[in-house]
Chains A and B, each alone.
Chain A
């Protein structure tokens, strides 16, 4: 085994435009801009809910249609351009080839094309703010007939068309990216990297890519049909005799809005698993890394990843319990939705067992991985509640649901992204992010997360619906019900502002570290997965599965080390 080189090998950015790291950085750039815009939108929403008369500088008070436009764009940006792009395409492209011992992704030019297509989709989506009528107001779920005709509301004309075009392009780009990921993992693994030696992060990417290939095409088909309804007077989703805004729609035939719900949620549920699976895999690996332990029940973790993927295709009806489905269908979907709690629980048990009595190093990536576990448990436990139709009858489309998916996706999912950033930063840039600022970032974010999203459960239980542009000025008993939730909503607004400010240490950290000259060592975390090897991994053989740590908690054996007797000590 050769001596470590003088300067550590890093997965530094590359100048070639088809290089997978360039593509990965492109994706991460898109996600970073998207998360910034999406966060600003959510803060505007919170400020308006708490102070409806507040006037936005250079704009004036936020009108109800503008509020709904914020809701729609916030959901669309965060779900598609942050949570689907960053973990899967962003970090996947950066790290996957090195982690499996491949030199590059399977189809580099196709890879670059998908990235640019995603960027184009992003730019097109942003123009929705500026077209006449403004951004669409039908939410990221775009239920027809609200989304099927421009008559249904402001922003449903050009804004909706722009949204359709952007998401259709995004679907194509995601499918192409997933094809690349799948072919790379199946065919380009390096020497010795068998399926059971793959890190769980790779299993997460693999399953998410399988789901992408399956689900985005269905969304594209639904978007095509919605486009036809909007512009060619078809009636896939528009029922006969629909009277919108005083105009009787002349679409021939009698479509069903429920058809859209089925198609959309057949895509929509796998979509949220695409968002979370890579983070779950990374969490297992990072916990094991810093606990200096093996992942507990490794093969079971592979099985649960695949099982969550499979079951994720079978549960879409739990978004439709009160939408007009046959009640027997509700029971069937309730069964599959409850079932998916089991592989998820198995993962949580594995995480807890991996760190049990391990006295781990509480570095920033480790903290974020632990935060992922905590938020996943908090958000996940309300899943089985919502999976029971009789309870969903009360809780559907209330803030209870908003709390559930924000804790899991917005917080746990984002914690996965922060964990990945802190963890792989030294590998990519050769420098370590400051631990002090990192810990400050972690504590501010997790406290802010719980402070913001836990109270939402209570306002939802009080009956408060979501996507309401205003909680004040509503007459009658309904207005009184909404008024009772106002104090909690104000608290949530303050917490959300705190949560946003808690990200400032992270930005400061990035800026300061990128400008510093201090260099990190080759493998500062004592990691065992291939990307940390001291030379290009496509020239190395994987000799064992990951996470071989000695009992003293200090010595370790990377996957690339030839055999047990000649390993170097950790640096």
Chain B
């Protein structure tokens, strides 16, 4: 049967457009992120370029976490913009004077301590994450010689979990302190935002605590080191993001009212 002939003009245009050297297109390269891999050079599993190795799986999960964090960021951006708008807007009162009812809410000083605790927890989380990727330990664990990565990570993650719970407890104390001073959610527009922002952040951090617990369970029960790496890596990146977000929100509440 006659072959399909691509018309010369289209063929030529193609080559010009796509710099096609005739040998077919190179598949998209995987971006090596994290770990100690060096691009394609250590394809020592001799797998075809593709999407099925553990490194690919890790980068997929990281991308999922990235997009999820972007969504969380948009959520807080919406609330923070409402914060700025409400802070700056006023209305005409009964006497036709333009008044702004925003009364800054004094932040309980325990929040400084909570912030420090959260920063420490990020540090310990990062230690956990790095211990999952230290190559010699990973090799040993993969072969089955030891469980050093998982053990180290479990220790650091437990510390992180403790600090995280401490942070949440500290937030609760802060709310209690405010309530004792009769500053409730509905007291003033600024307190609306204080409570909304801190509660929303605490809810997200609570999800992070759940992820930490899941990672700890995964470290014990998951059979593949690649999966354990993914559990810890995803959780810790989320944790860092929540910490960074808190720094910004805290600065906003402390200095931005």
Contact = CB atoms under 8 A, between A and B. Distances in A.
Say if A and B assemble together.
yes
A186 B63 contact: yes
Interface of B, helix, strand, loop or mixed by DSSP: helix
A81 to B, nearest CB: 20
A565 interface: yes
Given A191-B50, A213-B71, A564 B6 contact: yes
Given A179-B64, A183-B63, A564-B5, A217 B78 contact: yes
B91 A254 contact: yes
B67 A234 contact: no
B215 to A, nearest CB: 16
A10 interface: no
Interface in B52-79: 56, 59-61, 63-64, 67-68, 70-79
B3 interface: yes
Nearest to A263: B78
Interface in A516-571: 541-543, 548, 550-551, 555-557, 564-567, 569
Interface in A225-250: 225, 228, 232-236, 239-241
Contacts of B189: 235, 252-255
Contacts of A190: 50-51
A253 B192 contact: yes
A466 interface: no
Given A236-B86, A543-B24, A564-B5, A254 B101 contact: yes
Contacts of A222: 78
A178 B196 CA distance: 26
- Name which of A106, A221, A239, A569 has the most chain B CB atoms within 10 A of its CB: A221
Interface in B1-58: 1, 3-7, 10, 18, 24-25, 27-28, 48-51, 56
B49 A228 contact: no
Contacts of B50: 190-191
Interface stretch (B104-112, B134-142, B143-151, B180-188): B180-188
Contacts of A235: 189, 192
Nearest to A180: B64
A187 B186 contact: no
A214 interface: yes
A439 interface: no
B192 A189 contact: no
- Name which of B72, B74, B94 has the most chain A CB atoms within 10 A of its CB: B74
A294 B10 CA distance: 10
A232 B51 contact: no
Contact of B60 (A187, A225, A548): A187
Given A179-B67, A232-B186, A236-B192, A187 B59 contact: yes
Contacts of B71: 175, 178-179, 213-214, 216-217
A178 B67 contact: yes
Given A259-B82, A263-B78, A567-B4, A188 B192 contact: no
B224 interface: no
A507 to B, nearest CB: 38
Contact of A194 (B1, B25, B85, B89): B25
A383 interface: no
- Name which of B60, B71, B85, B196 has the most chain A CB atoms within 10 A of its CB: B71
Given A183-B60, A253-B101, A214 B74 contact: yes
B51 A102 contact: yes
A550 B101 contact: no
A566 B18 CA distance: 22
Given A179-B64, A179-B68, 13 more contacts: A179-B67, A182-B63, A191-B49, A192-B24, A194-B27, A194-B28, A215-B74, A217-B74, A218-B77, A221-B78, A256-B85, A256-B89, A565-B4
Interface of B: 1, 3-7, 10, 18, 24-25, 27-28, 48-51, 56, 59-61, 63-64, 67-68, 70-79, 82, 85-86, 89-91, 94, 101, 185-189, 192, 196, 200
Interface of A: 102, 106-107, 110, 175-176, 178-180, 182-183, 186-197, 213-218, 220-222, 224-225, 228, 232-236, 239-241, 251-256, 259, 263, 266, 294, 541-543, 548, 550-551, 555-557, 564-567, 569
